[in-house]
Chain A
Amino acid sequence: MKEFIEGSHAIAEVIKSCQPGVISAYPITPQTHIVEDLAQIVADGELKSQFVNVESEHSAASVVLGASATGVRVYTATSSQGLFYMQEVVFNIAGMRLPVVMTCANRAISAPINIWNDQQDSISLRDSGWFQIYAEDNQEAVDFHLIAYRLAEDKRVMLPVMVCMDGFILTHGMETVDIPEQDKVNKFLPSYKPLYKLDPGDPMSMGLLADPDYYMETRFAIQETMRESLSYLSEISKEFNNVFSRDYKDLLVEEYQLKDADKVIVAMGSVCGTIKEVVDEQRAKGKKVGLLRIISYRPFPYARIYEALKDVPKVAVLDKAVSLGAYAPVAVEVKAAFYGKKKSPKVISSFVGGLGGRDITLETIHEVFRRLTVKEVNFDFVDLKPELLKEEYGE
């Protein structure tokens, strides 16, 4: 059913239809509206979940870990510092192969404290063993949660999924969203049947000490599962399309005006809406530009990106996060997709923008296309204010 609705409310509605047995979260801007809504939904008796209000994100993640290990579907949401505070539990959940689904309302990292959007929080947890899928708009954000549960609870997978949606831009943005009907959700998402669980009827120990004789295989197994999951994503996408008639193709990337393009921007999340607008405008003028939107950041679709960009002469990667002291995180991975391959763009330039919520405007995107020339840019910020860089300290 189509509704003009705030992103957070839409997420709460879709989580309601997924019917998690246990929800636990700790408030942090800009995640709050999601969990407030879920609390109300539970309070109104519309959802028979245990809603556990905790004293920290560390415990929020620990509560859903314990509940998932007991064999029920779970949900949590967080952002920024909250995600960092639960970091060790985040790694733990993946290591224990528990199919937790989490919304990350993407937000900048302190210091300085800043509640606005970039993608530094989730990108910093890229090595945790969680799937990370990035939504461009609120319809996707809603749909990706359904897909997240299907993927996480797949018997071949059993890994947690983080649905990343840009804070404020999506969480607080009003859009028309088709909220999935319950009967369709039931058709797409069967009730959760755990592979193993804490049950006195069949006791087992979980979370054991694995010494050097055993540890490495746990990591190999997750790596393999991630690799295999590249194809599961397109399977699930197909089934999703069958039920809901929305086609996310292989769920790895979206190719936008790539045919014959000679300049392409690679990006993730809501900024891609802005890029599409510039691409349309430029195409109308006969400029051969395009967008490659990465949907699945973990697992990273190297082969898919290679196929999409191998004949494009100039590529710019626009990151909304940094790896201070090194090249930008998405850019290095895009470049890695071409290392040692027969074909490759001649130029892969790297730009970082939108940190701490600085608007990435249409003009920003025009600027990126303008600076995408034969001279490769290894790393540069866009939209910097040089006048703010004059403070001097020390002798």
Chain B
Amino acid sequence: MFGPLTVKPSNSKGDKTGSWRTQSRPHYLHKDCIACKMCLMICPEGCVHGKEKNAFWADYNFCKGCGVCADICPKKDIAMVAEESPIESKGEGR
């Protein structure tokens, strides 16, 4: 008989840590993006997605709102907006 022992990554859904956000979330402006991917590289959650210019987005299901992506963006193309703000960008709500 065996109890809880191992977990395969394919069976792991992860916690929906987006619910941790209380103050602000990153809003990807999609204006001056040069697809340098620094936001994607630096995100502690690994929840930034995208390949092409002006097409990056953070998965709010997991984003904890730390703001590091907005800080690293060389083009200031990511703005931190209040969590209550109605602003939505395409894809970000997924």
A97 at interface by CB-CB < 8 Å: yes
- Give Cα A224–Cα B1 distance, bound, in whole angstroms: 7
Which of A202, A218, A220, A228 makes the CB contact (< 8 A) with B5?
A218
User: Which of B6-14, B26-34, B43-51, B61-69 forms part of the interface with chain A?
Assistant: B6-14
Q: Identify the stretch in A106-114, A206-214, A268-276, A284-292 within 8 Å (CB) of chain B at 4 or more residues.
A: A206-214
A-B contacts counted at CB < 8 A amount to 41
Distance in Å from the Cβ of B9 to the closest Cβ of chain A?
A: 6
Interface contact B3-A208, CB-CB below 8 Å: no
Q: Are B4 and A218 in contact (CB under 8 A)?
A: yes
- Interface 1/0 per residue, A176-215 and B, CB below 8 Å: 0000000000000000000010000011111010100010
Give residues in A with beta carbon < 8 Å to B: 96-97, 158, 196, 202-206, 208, 210, 214, 217-222, 224-225, 228
* A136 shortest CB reach to chain B, Å: 31
Chain B, residues 38-82, CB within 8 Å of chain A (1/0): the string is 000000000000000000000000000000000000000000000
Indicate which residue in B1, B4, B6, B7 contacts A225 across the interface (CB closer than 8 Å): B1
Q: Quote the shortest CB–CB distance from A99 to chain B (angstroms).
A: 13
19 further A-B contacts with Cβ under 8 Å, apart from A204-B6, A217-B3, A220-B3, are A96-B5, A97-B2, A97-B5, A204-B7, A205-B6, A205-B7, A205-B8, A205-B9, A206-B5, A208-B7, A210-B4, A219-B3, A220-B1, A221-B1, A221-B3, A222-B3, A224-B1, A225-B1, A225-B2
Q: How far is the CA of A89 from the CA of B6 in the complex (A)?
A: 18
A96 contact set on B, CB distance < 8 A: 5
A210 to B7, CA, bound (A): 11
Whole-angstrom CA separation of A214 from B2 in the bound complex:
12
Closest beta carbon of chain A to B3's beta carbon, Å: 4
Is the pair B6, A196 in contact by a Cβ cutoff of 8 Å? yes
Q: Which residues of chain A are within 8 angstroms of B2 by Cβ–Cβ distance?
A: 97, 158, 221, 225
Min distance, Cβ B36 to any Cβ of chain A, angstroms: 30
B1 touches A228 (CB 8 A): yes
Closest 5 CB pairs of A and B: A217-B3, A218-B3, A221-B3, A224-B1, A221-B1
A219 to B8, CA, bound (A): 21
CA distance A176 to B4 in the complex (A): 46
Q: Separation in Å of the B21 CB from the closest CB of chain A?
A: 24
Q: Which residues of A contact B6 (CB under 8 A)?
A: 196, 204-206, 208
B4 proximity list for chain A (CB < 8 A): 208, 210, 214, 217-218
- Looking across the interface, which residue of chain B has its beta carbon closest to that of A223? B1
Bound complex: CA A224 to CA B9 (Å):
28
B-chain residues with CB within 8 Å of residue A210 when the two chains form the complex: 4
The distance in angstroms between the C-alpha atoms of A219 and B2, with both chains bound, is 9
Nearest Cβ on chain B to A226's Cβ, whole angstroms: 10
A-chain residues with CB within 8 Å of residue B8 when the two chains form the complex: 202-205
- Point out the residues of chain A lying under 8 angstroms from B3, CB to CB: 214, 217-222
Q: In the complex, which residue of chain B has the Cβ closest to the Cβ of A220?
A: B3
